[in-house]
Amino acid sequence: VTEQLPQALAAAIGGLSQEPFLALLLANVLLLVFGTILDIGAAILILTPLLVPALTALGVDPTHLGVVIVINLMLGGLTPPIGMLAFIASTISGTPVHAIFRQLLPFLAVLIAALLAVTYVPAISLGLGRLLDAL
């Protein structure tokens, strides 16, 4: 906070692109990398205060951004080689982790497609809330 890192990140993302779609793509890549390395709770605590000001300044809805952050980090937790969630599943099931990663790879392609759909079609994450507000 004293180093004003959120403002610096917001300026960096804004400097790279004034286009929300490109900024969301950069955020997706950043979140997937950190989701692979960090625990999901820690990643949320570290990255959310950095990304929210930067992306809301570009016009991204905060609720939509929250959904994108959570999906990214969960997907990162499944991604090889470090995917912490796969190691947890390996421990619980007694299955070797390489077998879990092998079986998981086809699903990762579908999950990445779903992530892109949620990221670039905000109505997917915001539609139900808007529908309930209308009632």
Mean pLDDT of all residues in 80-103: 89
User: Cβ(113)–Cβ(63) under 8 Å?
Assistant: no
Q: Give the pLDDT confidence of 114-123 residue by residue, as tens digits.
A: 999 999 999 9
Q: What is the dihedral of CA 82, 114, 40, 129, to 10 degrees?
A: 180
Mean pLDDT of all residues in 35-54: 87
**pTM for the whole structure:** 0.84
∠ at Cα 18 (15, 22), nearest 5°? 100
Residue 10 pLDDT exceeds 70: no
User: Cβ(69)–Cβ(32) under 8 Å?
Assistant: no
pLDDT at 120: 94
Average pLDDT, the chain: 87
